[in-house]
Amino acid sequence: NAGVMQNPRHLVRRRGQEARLRCSPMKGHSHVYWYRQLPEEGLKFMVYLQKENIIDESGMPKERFSAEFPKEGPSILRIQQVVRGDSAAYFCASSPNPAGGGDTQYFGPGTRLTVL
């Protein structure tokens, strides 16, 4: 059973470009979470999605950031017009069916975004 897959593992962008980060959840998991980790910090929640629905985006910056989890294919975190402050590690996690059950979230290896 493959774990959570994220690609690319490393992404370099120049200021003003767009960054697209992909996440494929574990088989059988229909809930995806995105977290951001700045250097020397813990992970900070960004967004929680189910298939075709955004459940909680309270941690997403209001501008330039968007996320989707289509019916088919991976979840995508998109950052438009990147700035140096967007440089961080972005982690995706998945769980099978939270529904108030406190399901464990399983993490992917992360995408390290560097903005030049």
Kindly indicate which of the ranges 13-21, 41-49, 63-71, 73-81 contains the residues binding another protein, using the contact rule CB under 8 A.
41-49
- Answer yes or no whether residue 102 interacts with another protein by CB under 8 A: yes
The CA distance from 36 to 71, in Å, is: 24
Kindly indicate which of the ranges 14-22, 65-73, 76-84, 93-101 contains the residues binding another protein, using the contact rule CB under 8 A.
93-101
Q: Where are the beta strands (DSSP E) in 1-116?
A: 5-7, 10-13, 19-24, 31-37, 43-50, 53-56, 65-68, 75-79, 88-95, 106-107, 111-115
- Answer yes or no whether residue 25 interacts with another protein by CB under 8 A: no
Least separation in angstroms between residue 72's CB and another protein is 24
